[in-house]
Amino acid sequence: MRDVTDADFEEQVLRSGRPVLVEFTAEWCGPCRQLAPVLKSIAEEERDRLDVVAIDVDANPETAVKYGVLSMPTLMVFKDGEPVWSRVGARPKRRLLEELAGTV
């Protein structure tokens, strides 16, 4: 799992040749801290077919505004430069993998 910014979001996410799971997060967000180990684990397990990145909405507000992110954590999957799946809130790993199954 790596961090992206407003400056490199297009290159790292929108131009990626694979699906990218983006976590819109913030330092002050408790549920985001809960979700961090889940996303790290998914990033390792699914590294052959999915990239997992995080973007801090306080430090990178342009991207959050562009995609209408109002609550943290917001998770989005991007494919071919477009968001194809979105959820708000932390969830257990098993449930997140079930929800992602049809999109990745």
Residue range 73-83, pLDDT digits in tens = 999 999 999 99
**Active site residue: 22, 32, 77, 90, which one?**
32
d(C-alpha 14, C-alpha 70), whole Å? 20
- Tell me the three state secondary structure of residue 13: helix
- For residue range 37-50, list pLDDT tens digits in order: 999 999 999 999 99
Q: Is 29 a catalytic residue?
A: yes
Q: Is 32 a catalytic residue?
A: yes
d(C-alpha 64, C-alpha 82), whole Å? 14
Domains of the chain, residue spans: 2-100
H-helix segments, the chain: 9, 30-45, 61-66, 93-100
Fold of 2-100: Glutaredoxin (3.40.30)
- Give me the pLDDT at residue 82, please: 97
**Active site residue: 4, 20, 21, 29, which one?**
29
